[in-house]
Structure 1
Amino acid sequence: MEVVVGTCGFSGKGGRRNYYNSFRGVEVQETFYRPVPLETLRRWRSEAPEGFEFTLKAFQGITHPASSPTWRRAKGIKPTENHGFFRPTREVFEGWEYTRSAAQALDASVVVFQTPPSFGPTEENVSNVDTFFSKIDRGSLTLGWEPRGEWLNRPELLEGIFKKHHLIHVVDPFRRMPLVESKVQYFRLHGIGRGEVNYSYKYTEEDLLRLLSIIESLSASKVYVFFNNIQMFQDALRFKELLERR
């Protein structure tokens, strides 16, 4: 089994160069908040060492409505009622075309969609998800979805969607396990305790050993493990070192 460890976004002191020297994978966050110029993404790809892996978070125009506070970081982009919730609109599909181009610029193989808790399993939203993933051209990309909110109380519905559209169930393994088996699994770690996220949490040695045990129990051939807490650089580095000692 191959395990790729890193963080959600470039983290730590010393910028990208230090990050490249510390890890062999990163989940790019900038593409979620705004369309980063493809020239910039190609530069990141060219400066990264051979074998380094990029994954990326899909542009929020696909998943997050205009009311989402995440748009405050969009730097001049004004969302409309046609954005978000996988709506079958020109704006949403344009968001996908940018995301796919960004993945190509980074030579990324995995794209992650994260939906806000306000995106619930209504009949309309289920239809939107089905239409979106049926219509887009994903090429050779592996797509993952991290649902939140009321979706988590509808495991049978979610499992059906994941299987129908060949999606990875992106999860925090300290809170739940993927509903579907896959050759590739994708973990995003948001801290333990206090609801769905606890960014201030620092993982203990016991936590990291438990994470290792969870990964070793999987039948996947590849697992991405990206930390997403305040101490993410240090915690990811500790887990990487633990893996290397096994």
Structure 2
Amino acid sequence: MIKVGTCGFTYKHFKYFDVLEVQQTFYDIVSESQLQNWRKKAEENKVELTIKALQVITHEYNTTTYKRMKNKFGDVNNYGFFKNTKEVEEATEITLKEAKLLNATIIIFQSPASFKPSEENTKAVIDYFSTLNKSFKYAWEPRGEWYYRTDLLKKVLDAVNIIHVVDPFKHESLTSERYFRLHGIGKGEVNYSYKYTDDDLKKLKSMVRDGDYVLFNNIYSFNDALRFKEILK
């Protein structure tokens, strides 16, 4: 089965899709009651949930993504880049607890383009994922210059046995398990305002195979994902 869904959702999404990615957990800590509500809705509709890890793990402190975070903790200078700090450790514990409450299957870590394929960062990724609880599957979406060093990227992915997350219109997956996040076609890593054409979706159909996760992460994600499910029939 090819699992189709969206990154982010409203309650109506549970009636239409196979999988939904919880994004709120990236921006801030989410209440236990909210997580339990989503889990109940998912179980009622037989929808798989995945979760995006808290940005404190992956993103250094900035004025863009962190402006949505009300529950900051510790020293913000110790945030991000899979650093070996008490703040990243606490953020990891928060994410793992949230994933358990959701009964999520996969935890997605998305690193920014500023997290480059240096020796220090390569070691940080390997050290970080090597110590994680094995109760979940883990997936990493690197951005930027890692795609000029795919040999190094594959070495890292293989070393820690995690899923490679990519936009299939931009990069090829380097792992056998595949998790696709579609950010829109155009220049740069993301083009959220892009609406996929029928030809785009037919091309996407030719790229995917049984077992793949296909999640739309654009403004038109609901309609584009629904149209893709129809094309797959």
Give the TM-score of the pair, scaled to structure 1.
0.90
Identify the residue that residue 131 of structure 2 maps to in structure 1: 135
Tell me, yes or no, if the aligned pair for 2:2 and 2:212 is still in contact at 8 Å: yes
Number of equivalences = 231
Identify the residue that residue 209 of structure 1 maps to in structure 2: 202
Identify the residue that residue 21 of structure 2 maps to in structure 1: 27
User: Given the alignment, which residue of 13, 38, 43 partners 2:37?
Assistant: 43
Q: Does 1:235 align with 2:224?
A: yes
Q: Per-residue deviation at 1:51?
A: 2.0
Look up the SS of the partner of 1:186 in the other structure.
strand
User: Given the alignment, which residue of 36, 55, 65 partners 1:70?
Assistant: 65
Look up the SS of the partner of 2:76 in the other structure.
coil
Q: Per-residue deviation at 1:39?
A: 2.5
**Pair 68,152 (structure 1): closer, same or farther in 2 beyond 3 Å:** farther
Q: Per-residue deviation at 1:38?
A: 2.2
Identify the residue that residue 157 of structure 1 maps to in structure 2: 152
Identify the residue that residue 193 of structure 2 maps to in structure 1: 200
Q: Per-residue deviation at 1:50?
A: 4.2
Structure 1: which 5+ runs fail to align? Answer: none
Distance in 2 separating the partners of 1:25 and 1:122: 34
Tell me, yes or no, if the aligned pair for 1:38 and 1:101 is still in contact at 8 Å: no
Structure 2: which 5+ runs fail to align? Answer: none
Q: Does 1:104 align with 2:97?
A: no
Q: What amino acid sits opposite 1:147 in the alignment? A: P
Q: What amino acid sits opposite 2:179 in the alignment? A: Y
Distance in 2 separating the partners of 1:180 and 1:242: 25
Q: Per-residue deviation at 1:67?
A: 2.4
Q: Render the CA deviation track for 1:41-93: whole Å, top value 9, x for unaligned.
A: 01211123242110010000100111252101112426611110000011111
Distance in 1 separating the partners of 2:83 and 2:140: 16
Identify the residue that residue 177 of structure 1 maps to in structure 2: 172
User: Given the alignment, which residue of 127, 133, 142 partners 1:147?
Assistant: 142
Distance in 2 separating the partners of 1:3 and 1:191: 20
Look up the SS of the partner of 1:170 in the other structure.
strand
Q: What amino acid sits opposite 1:210 in the alignment? A: K
Q: Per-residue deviation at 1:200?
A: 1.1
Q: Render the CA deviation track for 1:1-35: whole Å, top value 9, x for unaligned.
A: x111111100xxxx40x211121211100000011
CA RMSD in angstroms comes to 1.4
Look up the SS of the partner of 2:147 in the other structure.
helix
Q: Per-residue deviation at 1:134?
A: 1.5
Q: What amino acid sits opposite 1:51 in the alignment? A: K
Give the TM-score of the pair, scaled to structure 2.
0.95
Distance in 1 separating the partners of 2:71 and 2:108: 24
